[in-house]
Amino acid sequence: MFLPARETQNTRQKFEDRISAEGRFASYARGRLTYFLGRQVLTIIGAAILGVLVSPKLGFVALLVALAGEAVDCLTLRAFVRRGNYGPRARAASVGTAAIQAISISICVWLGWGATAGPEARFFAVVYMCGAVINAGLVYPFHRRATEARLVIYIIAIASLFALDGFAGRGSHGQLVFDFLATLMLGYMVYTFIRFVLRSHTKRIAMERDLIHRQDMLDQSFQTLEARTREAHHLAMVAANANDSVIVTDREGRIEYTNASFTRVSGYTAEEALGKLPAELLNSPNTDTEAIAAIFKARDIHEPVRMELINRTKDGNDIWVETNITPMVDDDGIVQGEVAIERDITQAKQREKELADAKTAAEEGARAKAQFLAMVSHEIRTPLNGIIGMSDVLLSGALQRDQRETVQTILSSGEALLTIINDILDLSKLEAGKMEIETIPFDLRAQLQGALALIHPLAEEKGLSLSLTFEDLPADQFMGDPGRVRQVFLNLVGNAIKFTKSGGVSARVSAVPGPQGDEIRIAVKDTGIGIPEDRLAHIFAAFAQADGATTRHFGGTGLGLAISRQLARQMGGDIDVASIPGEGSCFTLRFLTRAVDAAPKTSTCKATGGIAEIPPDIRILVADDNRTNRLLLGKLLDRVKPGLIFAVDGIEAVDKFRTEAPDLILMDMSMPRCDGIEATRLIREIEALGTAPPVPILALTANAFASDRDRCLEAGMDGFLTKPIRRRDLFAAIADFAPAHLQAPAASDTLKTVAL
Ligand code: ADP
């Protein structure tokens, strides 16, 4: 039978109260009152005996004295009990009343002893005193000081009687000695008795304390047990009602418990599963053996394990489960079994696969789109090459005014088309994450000035001022992608000119040093139409324009800023815009770079100034499968016509290299049978055998990617010309790379890019 905790606490409290000084005094006081009558029986018998032995009068007096002592003591104690006053003062007072009571008994003994000289009175007195001492001794554990006061008085009383007898010479000497010794013996017995009383009391208290302590422990164990039972009950409820399968295995790894969810998911009832190994029940031929090995390994090292694996259900279907296996290790570190919680994730897996498939399909689509756009752009660039190139050729000849205007229109339409194609190609590359950003040293000032020179005529045409200022730049050379910086800058300045009717456009370049290098800021400010605030966030989206109607008037595709912003971000920066409608806009391009002292390794040069002179007797091999291109190059290089040799594919190019020994080769990259890269390799191999002197080879390609340029360089080409080819650039490149003996300046040994 377990006591509730509170009851045990009460018991302990009561016990502590009882053995405290107050508690013991209370017991003493109540005991004295309870046994009052019992004690008076002794008093009356004593008084009666005295009455018989001496005189009834003396007996009566003794009775009165004894009763008076008792009355003082008991009435005082009763007052304390009634008031519940057991404090130190009450205890001290009770010592006094105990002494009075002892003195009253001692007076009675004196009366009896003194009134008679016979041994019978002494015997009676000693016996009476013994009774009183025993009586006092019985309450010793409860009120020591009262008992001690009584004992001292009794001892003094007895001793004084013997002394009196001795002095008075009452009775024989032998008799006196005999009585004294007998009294001492009696006294010793009484002492032993009191000690016994005291010890038994102490033992009883210790036993009681021990009992209470045990009760306490029992109580705690019971409470722990009760809590555990409750917890076990809850756990059992959780396990039974969990949505996940719960499997508990024993030390041998055999199933000893499964919940309802396990049955629902696996199809096996608990009875079917009990005693089986989970593997023999649930593994499928498709279950990953490495996953199973990992589970066993985790078990060996007492580690929990979580993984996804395939289980087979009772009806033979494979399902994906996410399993969490935790070993149950006892205090001695021995695995007593395992708890596995399994969740059916088949649907999630299916969705995951669908998502992955969809992602692959989307990526495939994006790749296909990028490839398609690259192909379309390439294919469009080739005829455009013809249109722009031929227009260029026509314009270099003598034309009538209206003819010149017509050709000029064809040329600018071709160039506009080329810009659109370039933009679409850029966007598709950016979206497919295929945009390559170079990091090469370049002259920022020269780049921007060159770009501005190109666009200057547009501003002039509209009567706008155009300025470019540089604030303190840490250097001239910076690491980065000059082509892309130029492209974004041209887009911003181009837009600014396009959307400004009067006033002007100013560009300001500054550098802000930061932890990752310098941040270049190019702020392009105009006094144009501005952009409404609610459109500011949208103008960077592809094909977005601030106001369809207004901008339609200005033309454009809405791609420029989308491309520019993505390029800026790829260069570690961004484009910010601030604009006030009617007052103008300020677009700021930011990008991260690093100032360098060294001169650039490769240069992106733009033919500026007049048309370069090319050696008149130079022999140029043109390898291009496209007839229009061959025709165009024939016309562009009209002035060296006798020295022009044509090849329609790579194999013919190699043959003509062998037989004709040209001074320079213009090599198309994509040709049937053998492309330009392969043909260049073969030519370089032939040269390496020492059978022919090295010849400069310039790539001619519609693919304007850095990777193409790297491939050209790697194959052994010297330069790179992108289609559509402009007369000015073609001549500059030929003049640059023509062999020294043909008068042209020495060619650099590094790859040169002539970009449009
Ligand atoms: P596009 O100029 O070909 O339309 P962009 O992406 O370069 O495409 O610009 C998107 C739109 O942002 C423009 O159509 C125009 O509405 C607005 N915009 C860009 N630059 C300016 C500018 N400097 N002033 C006013 N509006 C501008």
291-321 pLDDT per residue, tens: 888 888 888 888 899 999 999 999 999 999 9
Asked if the model's pLDDT at residue 544 lies above 70, the reply is no
If one compares 550 and 201, the residue with the highest pLDDT of the two is 201
pLDDT at 3 over 80: no
State pLDDT tens for residues 614-660: 777 888 899 988 888 888 888 888 877 777 888 988 899 888 888 88
Report the range of poorest mean pLDDT among 114-118, 352-356, 375-379: 114-118
Distance between CA 722 and CA 703 in Å, rounded?
A: 7
Over residues 245-299, the pLDDT tens digits come to 999 999 888 999 999 999 999 999 999 999 999 988 898 898 888 888 888 888 8
* Atom number of ligand 1 nearest to Cα 563: 6
- If you take atom 25 of ligand 1, which residue's CA is the nearest one? 530
> Counting atoms of ligand 1 from 1, which one is nearest the CA of 556?
3
* Lowest pLDDT segment from 72-86, 336-350, 362-376, 681-695: 362-376
Sign of CA dihedral 311, 317, 319, 324: negative
Atom 20 (ligand 1) nearest CA: 495
- Looking at residue 116, its pLDDT comes to 67
Residue 41 CA, ligand 1 centroid: distance in Å: 126
120-134, 177-191, 502-516, 605-619, range with greatest mean pLDDT: 502-516
Give the pLDDT confidence score for residue 247 in this predicted structure.
92
* pLDDT above 70 (res 756): no
CA dihedral of residues 665, 669, 672, 677 (deg, nearest 10)? 80
Looking at residue 705, what is its pLDDT? 61
Q: What distances in angstroms separate CA 503 from CA 468, 550, 578, 581, 733, one per listed residue?
A: 15, 19, 18, 15, 38
Alpha-carbon gap, residue 241 to 638, rounded angstroms: 91
Query: Confidence class of residue 550 from pLDDT cuts 50, 70 and 90?
Result: low
| Contact 575 CB / ligand 1 (< 6 Å) | no
Q: Residue 383: is the preceding peptide bond cis (ω within 30°)?
A: no
**In testing the pocket of ligand 1, which one of 498, 536, 551, 566 has its CB within 8 Å of the most ligand atoms?**
551
pLDDT of residue 118: 64
User: Each residue of 503-539: pLDDT tens digit?
Assistant: 999 999 998 887 778 889 999 999 999 998 888 888 8
CA of 212 to the centre of ligand 1 (A): 92
Q: What is the pLDDT of residue 751?
A: 39
Give the model's pLDDT for residue 606.
Answer: 42
Alpha-carbon torsion, ordered 161, 165, 168, 170, to 10 deg? 140
User: Mean pLDDT, the chain, as a whole number?
Assistant: 83
Q: Which atom of ligand 1 is nearest to the CA of 587?
A: 23
- Count Cβ atoms within 10 A of the Cβ of residue 539 and give its class: 0-12 exposed, 13-18 middle, 19 or more buried: buried
Give per-residue pLDDT as tens, 403-457: 888 888 888 788 878 878 877 777 777 776 777 787 888 888 888 888 888 788 8
Dihedral (CA of 400, 406, 410, 412) sign: positive
> Could you identify the atom of ligand 1 that is nearest to the CA of residue 562?
6
Residue 1 has pLDDT above 60, yes or no: no
Cα(551) to centroid(ligand 1), Å: 7
528 Cα nearest atom in ligand 1: 24
Inter-residue contact 260 to 237 (CB < 8 Å)? no
How many angstroms is it from 545 CA to the middle of ligand 1? 6
Q: What is the DSSP letter of 639?
A: G
* Contact of 564 with 427, CB cutoff 8 Å: no
Ligand 1 mean position, distance from CA 554 (Å)? 9
**CA–CA gap between residue 262 and residue 268 (Å, rounded):** 7
Ligand 1 mean position, distance from CA 257 (Å): 70
Q: How confident is the model at residue 589 (pLDDT cuts 50, 70, 90)?
A: very high
Confidence of residue 357 (pLDDT cuts 50, 70, 90): very high
Pocket test of ligand 1: the residue of 499, 538, 576 to mutate, having most ligand atoms within 8 Å of its CB, is: 499
pTM for the full predicted model = 0.48
Q: Categorise residue 503: left if φ over 0, alpha if ψ from -120 to 50, beta otherwise.
A: left
Who has greater pLDDT, 589 or 703?
589
pLDDT at 415: 81
Most confident of the ranges 188-202, 569-583, 731-745: 569-583
Work out the percent of the chain whose per-residue pLDDT is above 90. 26
529 lines ligand 1 (CB under 6 A): yes
Length of the chain, please? 756
Lowest mean pLDDT, pick from 344-348, 552-556, 721-725, 737-741: 552-556
Give the rounded distance of the alpha carbon of 667 from its chain centre: 57
Q: What is the pLDDT of residue 744?
A: 43
Q: How far is the CA of 734 from the centre of ligand 1 (A)?
A: 38
| Per-residue pLDDT tens digits for 200-234 | 988 988 998 888 888 888 888 888 999 998 988 88
**How many Å lie between the centroid of ligand 1 and the Cα of residue 464?**
18
Rg of the chain over all Cα atoms, to the nearest angstrom: 60
Nearest atom of ligand 1 to the alpha carbon of 546: 16
- What pLDDT shows up at residue 409? 83
Cβ atoms within 10 Å, residue 547: 14
pLDDT at 117: 57
- Residue 436 token pair: 């390559």
Q: Is ligand 1 within 6 A of the CB of residue 496?
A: yes
CA of 546 to the centre of ligand 1 (A): 7
Using CA positions, which residue lies closest to atom 3 of ligand 1? 556
Residue nearest to atom 19 of ligand 1 (CA): 495
pLDDT > 70: percent of the chain: 91
Is any ligand 1 atom within 6 A of the Cβ of residue 526?
Answer: yes
Which atom of ligand 1 lies closest to the CA of 544?
10
